[in-house]
């Protein structure tokens, strides 16, 4: 508790496409917590590297970007705006090729260590809900409530399929299953801070639950912790 200065920290971890953002934003709004989308940090590093023609294998150059990344978040309704050096990059970071690139960048130990303190800085302002892959295990091992969300890969692919269809994009289920499966293996298989549940995490299988259903479960745990 001391390291967190008495302010509540909620960790939301889980694999790609499980609904972490929607749920973490739901908790942030309901309990007036600062929302920290750590995946956006890795996405932003990948994006800046690509803009500058830096290879996603150049660990030293990526770590330098991570250490100085001028990034800010602004939660507006259900949308987390990401501002990079004064420019709104929210949509750019969400484009389909940025997920795999972020995953590649995030496997570099020096990038992860450069981001560690920066992620903790976000939580200094007040109560926080942070989402990612290693929040409960590495970034905030003392978090008061730790959730680890799971869902079958087919279900996660189906959720993404519906989102993309809504956005007028045409992509096959088979392709999505393949992409999500690859990212799962990459994020879970890396040597540093792999995707895994903390020993004291509350594991919630969302496969057969609606967003509201999951939110009900999470809300109850946070309420008890407050």
Q: Which residues contact ligand DC (rule: CB under 6 A)? A: 16, 38-39, 42-43, 99, 102-103, 106, 132-135, 183, 187
HSE value, Cβ hemisphere, 13 Å, CA-based, for 115: 31
Task: State in angstroms the smallest separation of the CB of 51 from ligand DC.
Answer: 18
In the bound state with ligand DC, the residue whose beta carbon lies nearer, of 127 and 137, is 137
In the bound state with ligand DC, the residue whose beta carbon lies nearer, of 188 and 223, is 188
Task: State in angstroms the smallest separation of the CB of 100 from ligand DC.
Answer: 7
Distances (CA, A) of 137 to 61, 118, 130, 142, 200: 26, 16, 12, 9, 9
Task: State in angstroms the smallest separation of the CB of 19 from ligand DC.
Answer: 11
Asked if 128 and 122 count as a contact pair (C-beta separation under 8 A), the reply is yes
In the bound state with ligand DC, the residue whose beta carbon lies nearer, of 33 and 105, is 105
In the bound state with ligand DC, the residue whose beta carbon lies nearer, of 30 and 184, is 184
Task: State in angstroms the smallest separation of the CB of 134 from ligand DC.
Answer: 5
> 3-state DSSP call for residue 218?
helix
Distance CA 167, CA 148 (A): 28
The H or E element spanning position 60 is helix 59-68
């Amino acid at each position: 508790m001391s390291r967190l200065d008495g302010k509540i920290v909620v960790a939301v971890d889980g694999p790609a496409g499980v609904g972490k953002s929607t749920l973490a934003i739901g908790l942030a709004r309901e309990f007036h917590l600062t929302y920290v989308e750590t995946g956006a940090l890795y996405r932003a590093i990948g994006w800046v590297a690509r803009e500058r023609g830096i290879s996603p294998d150049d660990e030293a150059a990526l770590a330098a970007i991570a250490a100085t990344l001028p990034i800010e978040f602004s939660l507006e309704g259900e949308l987390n705006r990401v501002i990079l050096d004064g420019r709104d990059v929210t949509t750019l970071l969400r484009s389909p090729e940025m997920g795999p690139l972020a995953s590649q960048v995030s496997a570099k130990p020096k990038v992860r260590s450069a981001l560690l303190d920066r992620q903790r800085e976000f939580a200094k302002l007040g109560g926080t809900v942070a989402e990612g892959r290693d929040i409960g295990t590495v970034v905030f091992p003392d978090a008061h409530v730790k959730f680890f969300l799971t869902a079958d890969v087919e279900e996660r692919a189906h959720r993404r399929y519906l989102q993309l269809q809504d956005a007028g994009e045409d992509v096959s289920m088979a392709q999505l299953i393949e992409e999500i499966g690859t990212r799962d293996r990459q994020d879970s298989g890396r040597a540093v801070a792999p995707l895994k549940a903390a020993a004291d995490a509350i594991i919630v299988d969302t496969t057969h639950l609606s967003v509201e259903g999951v939110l009900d479960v999470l809300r109850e745990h946070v309420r008890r912790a407050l």
